[in-house]
Amino acid sequence: MNKYTCTRISISDIVYATLVAESEDRAREMAMAEATKRGYGAGRPRSWSVRVLEEGVEGPAQILDCGNREA
């Protein structure tokens, strides 16, 4: 498992998620689902940027933080 940061930038918003997942693809899926659940909109999968923050993290796949800011 790795700790990831996922971001989606549009003209008016920056949506972000920090999470633990087993792969970049799964991190992107989890970030999109959480953003949709919170009413931020998910966008398209390719619009999400995914980066590893920490490798070899223990624990289950989970969302640690998710939010949005005005761009």
Which has the closest alpha carbon to 4: 67, 22, 12? 22
Look up residue 1 and give its two tokens: 């498992």
CB 19 within 8 A of CB 31: yes
Q: What average pLDDT score do residues 32-50 get?
A: 90
pTM for the model stands at 0.90
Instruction: Considering only residues 70 and 20, tell me which one the structure prediction assigns the higher pLDDT.
Output: 20
- pLDDT score of 42 more than 80: no
Domain of 50 in residue numbering reads as 2-70
- pLDDT score of 7 more than 80: yes
Number of structural domains the chain divides into: 1
